[in-house]
Amino acid sequence: MKYYIVIPAHNEANFIGLTLESLINQTILPSKIVVVNDNSTDETAEIVQSFMANNTFISLLNNTSAVQHLPGSKVVLAFNKGLATLDNNYDFIVKADADLIFPPNYFETIIHHFKSDEKIGMAGGFCYIKKNGEWTLENLTNKDHIRGALKAYRKACFKQIDGLRTAMGWDTVDELLCKFYDWKIKTDETLHVKHLKPTGVNYNAASRYKQGEAFYSLGYGFWITAIASLKLAMRKGKPFLFFDYLKGYWQAKTHKAPLLVTEEQAKFIKKYRWKKMKEKIFN
């Protein structure tokens, strides 16, 4: 199977070389890698160019965007710029962060999963971060979710969900839409990917309410938002984020912010979320 990788990168000079090194050492190489240098002020572009010299499947796209970093929209806009430079001659497309080290068999294993079942629409491994000298599972990970850092989409699935949304929550709505369209999501616990810069370290004060806004835009409704907000705040070890998330939700509701999904999809998502919560409670 042929696969393309798009890597949005903003000031990733400390990590992008390690990411590309792990990709050119894959047992099955990608057909194309596009690194979108998104307004970097460091040596990100020069490092990518040094890899391009001996790896013709790697290309660089310099992109100028807003300096402000907000989770979701900035990274997906950069991804879409890279995607627009590619043809459709791929079997699956990968959105990858620029601060990852993939094991050599990562994409060979992903290909195996896609080949094993034509209904698998998305596949991925798990992110590990370094704590006290040891690589441990990043606490934002669970077995039912593929992290936004390393999403792989079968082409037919990617087209049916209409690509990625340019908003926080994009890496949740994609999976919910997979379920809506009856695709399967495959996670592989044996695939340990080193995440060199933990998620959210660059999020600024303006991002505090974005998670709550995202819950609203997914059509969760208040009670699912409250439960999800509490769970996420506790998982991050910052209980007071719960109130920020709820404030973000109410702000979005008050201003009637647009949903990321249709009404039909929102009804499905709400029903699906309640079902999963009940399963966790009673199992």
CA–CA separation, 127 and 67 (whole Å): 27
One-letter amino acid at 12 equals E
Quick one: pLDDT at residue 232? 80
Enumerate residues 6+ apart whose C-beta is below 8 A from 92: 1, 3, 110, 114, 123, 152, 153, 154, 155, 158
Q: With bands split at pLDDT 50, 70 and 90, how would you rate the model's confidence at 200?
A: low
Phi and psi at residue 195, in whole multiples of 5°?
-100, 105
> Does the CA dihedral 130-136-142-144 come out positive or negative?
positive
Give tens-digit pLDDT for 118-129. Answer: 999 999 999 999
Q: How far are the Cα atoms of 127, 139, 192, 199 from residue 133, in angstroms, in the given order?
A: 16, 16, 16, 18
Quick one: pLDDT at residue 275? 85
Query: Which CATH number is 3-195's, of 3.90.550.10, 3.40.190.10, 3.30.465.10, 3.10.180.10?
Result: 3.90.550.10
Token pair for 16: 């992008």
CA 50 to chain centre: 26
According to DSSP, the residues that pair with 7 across neighbouring strands are 35
Residue 47 has pLDDT above 90, yes or no: yes
pTM of the predicted structure, to 2 decimals: 0.88
Residue 220 has pLDDT above 90, yes or no: no
Residue 70 has pLDDT above 60, yes or no: no
CA–CA separation, 283 and 154 (whole Å): 31
Token pair for 40: 């970097």
Q: With bands split at pLDDT 50, 70 and 90, how would you rate the model's confidence at 214?
A: confident
Q: 């696969």: which residue's tokens?
A: 3
According to DSSP, the residues that pair with 195 across neighbouring strands are 100
CA–CA separation, 24 and 57 (whole Å): 10
HSE toward the beta carbon, residue 21, CA cutoff 13 A: 8
Give tens-digit pLDDT for 72-105. Answer: 678 999 999 999 999 999 999 999 999 999 999 9
Residue 63 has pLDDT above 70, yes or no: yes
Q: What is the mean pLDDT of residues 176-205?
A: 84
The residues of the chain that CATH labels 3.90.550.10 are 3-195
Assess contact for 100 and 21: CB atoms under 8 A. no
CA–CA separation, 72 and 8 (whole Å): 12
